[in-house]
Chains A and B, each alone.
Chain A
């Protein structure tokens, strides 16, 4: 079993849809949770960074962490074609200097 499970998709949605991306994990010791967006042939770009359980909102993006279920989500409201990318969840035991454990990444396509 992988430490972090993420459906690779692809996920195709119409413009304006609400997108839900999810990851599950097996190690309850993870404390920090991140979502990165990666465009083709570019490095990952940090979207959301959360500590422990709860919700965090930033513009059209909302990140949720449910540590009791070992489940994290990223919601994208009013999706745009420019949101088409691969979304990677990542987590680590403690912040900053510890290595990240990544999900497989979900490829998202938002069509006009």
Chain B
């Protein structure tokens, strides 16, 4: 069964709206989670590493004020797309490793459509 849960699975909203996406680890604690973005027919692009109790680490070119990450508990990380615009429309996916030297498991993704 799924070990990482992501919500919502699909959101459509107007330009200028802020959208929050949740990523939860099920039955395990995740001190680190990862946020990816995926465009159609392309591979996953890492956006940031979410660290419980500290600031997220963003990849080069990713605006940290645009994509706010909060990892307030050991089972929940959130990604907020602030003042979203049509170019932010994409498939956002989170992942979490179950432990040291364990593989990352992915959520089912959130399809974000900004009108």
> What is the interface of chain A, defined by CB distance below 8 A to chain B?
8, 32, 34, 36, 41-46, 49, 51, 88, 94-97, 99-100, 102-105, 107
Q: Tell me, in angstroms, the Cα distance from A107 to B40 when the chains sit together.
A: 12
A96 touches B107 (CB 8 A): no
The size bracket of the interface on B is 20 to 34
Partner of B43, one of A32, A43, A51, A102: A102
B103 touches A44 (CB 8 A): no
In the complex, whether B25 has a CB less than 8 A from a CB of chain A is no
Q: Tell me, in angstroms, the Cα distance from A34 to B44 when the chains sit together.
A: 14
**What residues of A have a CB within 8 angstroms of the CB of B108 in the complex?**
42-43
Q: Tell me, in angstroms, the Cα distance from A45 to B1 when the chains sit together.
A: 11
A45 touches B106 (CB 8 A): yes
Partner of A43, one of B6, B49, B99: B6
Going nearest first, the 10 A-B pairs with the smallest beta carbon separation are: A95-B101, A43-B106, A96-B97, A49-B103, A43-B108, A43-B109, A102-B43, A97-B32, A44-B106, A96-B100
If A41-B91, A41-B111, A96-B97 touch, does A46 touch B43 (CB 8 Å cutoff)? no
Interface of A is mostly: loop
In the complex, whether B104 has a CB less than 8 A from a CB of chain A is yes
Q: Tell me, in angstroms, the Cα distance from A45 to B49 when the chains sit together.
A: 20
**What residues of B have a CB within 8 angstroms of the CB of A42 in the complex?**
108-109
Q: List 8 A-B contacts (CB under 8 A).
A: A34-B104, A43-B106, A46-B105, A88-B44, A96-B101, A96-B104, A100-B104, A104-B42
In the complex, whether B93 has a CB less than 8 A from a CB of chain A is yes
A44 touches B93 (CB 8 A): yes
In the complex, whether B67 has a CB less than 8 A from a CB of chain A is no
B44 touches A44 (CB 8 A): yes
Nearest-neighbor residue (CB-CB) of A92 within chain B: B104
In the complex, whether B54 has a CB less than 8 A from a CB of chain A is no
Interface residues in B71-115 (C-beta closer than 8 Å to A): 91, 93, 95, 97-109, 111
A99 touches B103 (CB 8 A): no
If A36-B106, A43-B6, A43-B108 touch, does A94 touch B101 (CB 8 Å cutoff)? yes
**What residues of B have a CB within 8 angstroms of the CB of A94 in the complex?**
101
